[in-house]
Amino acid sequence: MDRASFGAWLDRYVEAWRTYDRAAIGDLFTEDAEYRFHPFDPPVRGRAAIVAAWLESPDAPGSWRCHYAPFAVEGSDAVAHGWTEYLVDDGETVDRRYANAYLCRFSPDGRCASFTEYYVPQRPRAAAAAPAA
């Protein structure tokens, strides 16, 4: 895995989230991948289970925006950082904002074998002081 390949994988990750296309989601992960929505939760195991978990409670189209970028890549391990914003019904006003970090391990074919998400909500005081997006 290199930075450019990881960046392309992150772009496909966001597109799969945007579309909730079953094949696009599945193509991101190895057959035996482990996916953790929270670092201390037990992982969702296996491509089919990961796809099913993504499709359980999809976000409405236009209800979020995000930006993720490679932070570090070493061998098959990669770390991304970025942010996610959830929007109110007008599609512009930010309801909640999170800082994100993703810890990923990739197989030689470029699919993710292990994914762990870390996210931290923006504190109200910090949100009030933040410049408008």
Segment 76-98 shows an average pLDDT of 93
Three-state DSSP class for residue 13: helix
Confidence of residue 126 (pLDDT cuts 50, 70, 90): low
Segment 23-44 shows an average pLDDT of 97
Confidence of residue 2 (pLDDT cuts 50, 70, 90): very high
Q: Which amino acid, 37?
A: F
Q: What is the pLDDT of the chain when averaged over all its residues? A: 93
Segment 50-75 shows an average pLDDT of 96
Three-state DSSP class for residue 113: strand
Domains assigned to the chain:
3-129 (3.10.450.50)
pLDDT higher than threshold 70 for residue 39: yes
Identify the bridge partners of residue 68 per DSSP, sorted by sequence position: 82
Confidence of residue 24 (pLDDT cuts 50, 70, 90): very high
Ramachandran class of 55: left when φ > 0, alpha when ψ lies in -120 to 50, beta otherwise: alpha
pLDDT higher than threshold 80 for residue 131: no
pLDDT higher than threshold 90 for residue 55: yes
Three-state DSSP class for residue 90: coil
User: How many whole angstroms separate alpha carbon 96 and alpha carbon 12?
Assistant: 23
